[in-house]
Amino acid sequence: MGQLVHTLPGGERVRGVTLLAGEIYLLRQKARDQVEVYDVTTYRLQRRLTVPGARDFTDMTSCEHNRCVYIGDFTDNCVHRLDVQGAVTQWAVADLLWGLSVNAAHNVLVTCPCKIKEFSSHGDLLRELTLPDDVIRPRLAIQTRSGQFIVCHGGHADPVNRVCMMSADGRHIVHSHGGKRGSDTDQYNWPLHLAVDDNESVFVADWVNSRVKLLSPTLQYVGQVVSRDQLNWGRPVSLYLDTQRRHLYVAVDGLNEEQGKVTAGRVAVFSV
């Protein structure tokens, strides 16, 4: 079980969290100053950055090699590229988009409703991989060092909620964990986000069940890393794993259970 180390200040909904150049980048859903940058050691706020023209965020990831963060915009179907100096550019995805990740080649993987698109750092489309028909509502794809893909998929209305390991061409399911939507150990209820460590173990944000689970490299259940009790004020929407410090950053939506509305967001840091 992970131990809570720190909680960053609450505020508007958090749509993503990542690390870049020794700083924490936190993405909030608002009109201006959407990106908050904190020192990774002291957790002190360093600055706020605005993404011009952005409207509805889906995810955020970072690339140390290219020294930038990438932000998904659901409304405009585009990716915003924000470098450490604060310059912002964008490119069109030409599809609905959900999750973002960066692979070993320093390219951006964009998870779309039925495919994975790979782009260069400046938005050149390199390839598209079509996912099998039974991988419904994929939220995030992460490519392993061996070239395979870890994908989480499924939601409230879908019969199957699970985490899959896909072949390098995206056509076949090699391993999977989950199935019928539920709350048991081997079930999920809207798996929203993933993080993978250096050993290729997989952390899964199980949104409705308010927990983070750990799976082996072959997607066998290992245990619960963050429990519902530790997230008693909200649900996990995004993950980032600092492999050097073994800190797991969990972006959490505050939820008004009576009204069924998301009210606020924050990031909790756990030692794992």
Determine the Cα–Cα distance for residues 228 and 213; give it in Å rounded to an integer. Answer: 11
DSSP 132: P
pLDDT in tens, 64-80: 999 999 999 999 999 99
As a whole number of angstroms, the distance between CA 132 and CA 150 comes to: 14
Q: Look over the chain and give the mean of its residue pLDDT values, rounded to a whole number.
A: 94
> pLDDT (tens digit, 0 to 9) for every residue of the chain, 272 residues total?
899 999 999 999 999 999 999 999 999 999 999 999 999 999 999 999 999 988 899 999 999 999 999 999 999 999 999 998 888 999 999 999 999 999 999 999 999 999 999 999 999 999 999 999 999 999 999 999 999 999 999 998 899 999 999 999 999 999 999 999 999 999 999 999 999 999 999 999 999 999 999 999 999 999 999 999 999 878 999 999 999 999 999 999 886 555 555 668 999 999 99
- Which DSSP string corresponds to 38-75? EETTT--EEEEE--TT---EEEEEEETTTTEEEEEETT
Q: Tokens representing 200?
A: 């290729």
Residue 271 contacts residue 1 (beta carbons within 8 Å): no
Tokens representing residue 194 in the block = 């993933």
Written as one letter, the residue type at 90 is: Q
Please give the share of the chain, as a percent, with pLDDT higher than 90.
Answer: 89
- The string of pLDDT tens digits covering residues 105-124 is 999 999 999 999 999 999 99
Nearest-10 Cα torsion for 218, 16, 271, 155: -40
* Rounded Cα distance, 40 and 20, in Å: 9
Give the residue extent of every domain in the chain: 3-271
Tell me the per-residue pLDDT of 15-37, one tens digit each, with 9 for 90 and over.
999 999 999 999 999 999 999 99
pTM over 0.75, yes/no: yes
pLDDT of 122: 95
Which CATH code, of 3.40.1670.10, 2.120.10.30, 3.40.640.10, 3.30.360.10, is assigned to 3-271?
Answer: 2.120.10.30
Give the integer Cα–Cα distance in Å for 50 and 54. Answer: 9
